[in-house]
């Protein structure tokens, strides 16, 4: 039975992706509403409210500065949520994965399909923010075609880390650890709201290990009309997270479902 | 390379092989052995029932066939070929109805079938056509657009069977298919399973309902502690293990029936379980008359069933185990 367990994912991943898309389409309105209204509130409250006191940051209006940061953190949040709560529901509550494993689809298909969906959902929320922020003149569209693949990669990486957690989790409560100890610190310390160099040196170094930092360092220039520096370093870190977490998630899910 | 979906071109008609063959399966979780040298086979078009108390290894057996559990030793062959040699573990020829509900609650009844058909890479038109046919077959036509949450237990189970048939598998695995269903729902499902068998689908089901095995199965295997204890056609198995009629004796005061063992030497076989004495004999009339004279006794005379075989072989006391 070796072959079944270790085959590479294929078209089956697209079948699962399609399934998730069809479910999402059923809840299109509330889902999109959240995608648009949330960033609007953030941009108004922080960009205008806080921005009034901050003025300019790194040579740009504060709302422009945080718009790109929120694009990155929103891709993280949305993909994380999908990889944790939604995936856990399918895995442990609805038994969707077990039903799928009775078909020619295999664990690799499930993992890849889920992560592609995490990437796409993260991108949908990021694009919603880009549209809202553009309304305030806070986005430069020049390098948008380059920003989109980075956003997809960001969603994929965070989805993969989340899915690995899900495969270990015994209940929804477990996810609070991940949010409190990983997602929230990244949201606050990875350069979304202020430049990294504001932090003490040690904190900067820690931040450089975290994936969100690299997503922000790529997306902020790309969304404000500049080309980022150290592109390969940042892409490399995101890709390394994506690949390592993908393999880990596949291993853990296989261990959990194929006993 | 994807042509297995289209069917059984790889089977050699000159060598008739069983549809499914399990040989020497063993599986342990730590110290706990769940399967020990489990072997049995299911012929083409046969309905085979696996009977066993909770924890006997029924679900693990189904999981092994499905490829969800890898046995420590042993082989499973589908149509004469090891499962490992089949693309995707032979899932294109195998349908599975799991014990727990695995329907997709995010979809309606027909969407469940459509989505599942996609996993088998069937073309859309074919999926739609088969979905209509299967919903009609399972008496679910009028519920096609209903959400899953609105279905009764019996309807859900029928939909689970319909979904497992979307790719027209030659082998259908059913893990306790009627557990928790009311009598009407069970009978409807049994009828459909018999129809499937007539149409040539091979069925392997696990159950702890003895009447279910008696009604549906051509062959029954009794599973205990992870291996087959006895295997035969239901009627043959009853005749082999239970001599004649069954007489159940109980006392109204709850005392031990026939405490002085008067019955010994007067019946072919006897067995005590809690407050009941079971007597087995081709002609139990004389013994019956003896006890009927005492108003303290409650008597029940009935033909032997598979349940008696099962309980004789696996023990009458309550077994608390986990699957």
From first to last of its 259 residues, chain A has per-residue pLDDT tens of: 334 444 567 889 999 999 999 999 998 988 888 888 887 888 889 888 888 888 899 999 999 999 999 999 999 999 999 999 999 999 999 999 999 999 999 999 999 999 999 999 999 999 999 999 999 999 999 999 999 999 999 999 999 999 999 999 999 999 999 999 999 999 999 999 999 999 999 999 999 999 999 999 999 999 999 999 999 999 999 999 999 999 999 999 999 999 8
Let me know the angle formed at the C-alpha of B242 by B236 and B245, rounded to the nearest 5 degrees: 110
Do A4 and B104 make contact, defined as CB atoms within 8 angstroms? no
d(C-alpha A63, C-alpha A68), whole Å: 9
Partners of A106 on chain B (C-beta within 8 Å) are: 88
For residue B260, give the 3-state DSSP assignment. coil
- Nearest alpha-carbon partner for A92 in A169, A186, A156, A185: A169
* Whole-number Å distance between alpha carbons of A254 and A111: 10
* Chain B residue nearest residue A1, CA to CA: B84
Q: Which chain B residues are Cβ-neighbours of A3 within 8 angstroms?
A: 84-85, 89
- Name which of A103, A257, A259 is nearest B91 (Cβ-Cβ): A103
Question: Best mutation site among A2, A3, A4 for testing chain B: the one with the most B CBs within 10 Å?
Answer: A4
Contact with chain B for residue A25, Cβ under 8 A: no
Q: What angle do CA B122, B124, B129 make, to 5 degrees?
A: 95
Q: Give the DSSP H or E segment for B24.
A: strand B20-29
Provide the whole-model pTM. Answer: 0.88
- ipTM value: 0.89
Residues of A in contact with B69 (CB under 8 A): 258-259
Q: Which residues in chain A touch residue B127, judged by CB atoms under 8 angstroms apart?
A: none
CA distance readout (Å), B49 to B74, B194, B204, B217, B264:
21, 13, 6, 6, 35
Which strands, in side-by-side order, build the sheet including B202-207?
A: B94-97, B171-175, B202-207, B47-51, B219-224, B227-232
| Cβ-nearest to A95 among B100, B111, B118 | B100
Q: What is the pLDDT along chain B (323 residues), one digit of tens a residue?
A: 344 333 444 444 455 578 999 999 999 999 999 999 999 999 999 999 999 888 889 999 999 999 999 999 999 999 999 998 998 889 999 999 998 889 999 999 999 999 999 999 999 999 999 999 999 999 999 999 999 999 999 999 999 999 999 999 999 999 999 988 999 999 999 999 999 999 999 999 998 888 889 889 999 999 989 999 899 999 899 888 888 899 999 999 989 999 899 999 899 888 888 899 999 998 888 899 999 999 999 999 998 888 888 888 877 655 544 33
């Amino acid at each position: 039975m070796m072959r079944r367990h270790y085959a590479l994912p294929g078209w089956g991943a697209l079948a699962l992706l399609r399934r998730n898309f069809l479910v999402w389409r059923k809840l299109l309105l509330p889902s999109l509403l959240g995608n648009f209204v949330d960033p609007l509130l953030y941009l108004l409250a922080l960009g205008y409210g806080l921005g009034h006191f901050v003025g300019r940051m790194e040579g740009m209006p504060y709302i422009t500065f945080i718009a790109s940061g929120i694009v990155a953190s929103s891709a993280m949040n949305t993909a994380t949520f999908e990889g944790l709560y939604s995936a856990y529901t399918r895995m442990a509550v609805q038994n969707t994965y077990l039903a799928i494993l009775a078909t020619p689809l295999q664990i690799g298909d499930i993992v890849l399909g889920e992560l592609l969906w995490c990437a796409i959902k993260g991108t949908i929320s990021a694009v919603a923010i880009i549209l809202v922020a553009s309304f305030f003149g806070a986005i430069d569209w020049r390098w948008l075609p380059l920003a989109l693949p980075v956003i997809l990669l960001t969603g994929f990486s965070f989805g993969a880390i989340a899915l690995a957690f899900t495969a270990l989790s015994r209940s929804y409560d477990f996810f609070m650890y991940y949010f409190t100890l990983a997602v929230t610190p990244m949201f606050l310390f990875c350069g979304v709201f202020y430049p990294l160099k504001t932090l003490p040196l040690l904190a900067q170094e820690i931040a450089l290990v975290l994936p969100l930092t690299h997503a922000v360092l790529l997306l902020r220039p790309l969304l404000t009309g500049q080309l980022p520096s150290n592109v390969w370093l940042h892409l490399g870190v995101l890709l390394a997270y994506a690949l390592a977490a993908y393999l880990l998630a596949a291993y853990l899910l296989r261990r959990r479902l194929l006993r | 390379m994807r042509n297995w979906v289209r069917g059984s071109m790889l089977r050699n008609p000159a060598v008739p092989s069983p549809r499914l063959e399990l040989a020497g399966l063993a599986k342990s979780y730590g110290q706990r052995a769940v399967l020990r040298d489990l072997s049995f086979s299911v012929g083409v078009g046969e309905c085979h029932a696996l009977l066993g108390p909770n924890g006997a290894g029924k679900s693990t057996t189904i999981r092994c066939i499905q490829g969800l559990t890898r046995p420590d030793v042993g082989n499973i062959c589908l149509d004469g070929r090891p499962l490992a040699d089949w693309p995707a573990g032979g899932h294109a020829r195998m349908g599975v109805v799991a014990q727990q509900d695995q329907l997709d609650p995010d979809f309606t009844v027909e969407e469940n079938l459509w989505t599942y058909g996609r996993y088998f890479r069937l073309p859309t038109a074919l999926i739609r056509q088969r979905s209509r046919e299967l919903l009609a077959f399972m008496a679910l036509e009028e519920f096609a657009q209903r959400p899953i949450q609105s279905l009764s237990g019996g309807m859900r189970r029928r939909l689970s069977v319909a979904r497992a048939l979307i790719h027209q598998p030659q082998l259908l695995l059913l893990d306790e298919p009627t557990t928790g269903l009311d009598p009407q729902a069970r009978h409807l499902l049994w009828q459909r399973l018999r129809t499937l068998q007539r149409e040539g689908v091979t069925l392997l089901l696990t159950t702890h309902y003895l009447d279910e095995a008696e009604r549906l199965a051509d062959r029954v295997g009794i599973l205990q502690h992870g291996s087959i204890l006895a295997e035969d056609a239901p009627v043959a198995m009853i005749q082999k293990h239970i001599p004649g009629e069954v007489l159940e004796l109980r006392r109204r005061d709850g005392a031990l029936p026939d405490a002085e063992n008067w019955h010994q030497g007067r019946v072919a076989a006897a067995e005590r379980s809690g407050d009941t004495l079971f007597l087995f004999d081709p002609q139990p009339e004389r013994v019956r008359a003896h006890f009927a004279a005492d108003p303290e006794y409650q008597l029940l005379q009935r033909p032997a069933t598979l349940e008696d075989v099962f309980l004789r072989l696996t023990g009458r006391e309550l077994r608390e185990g986990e699957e």
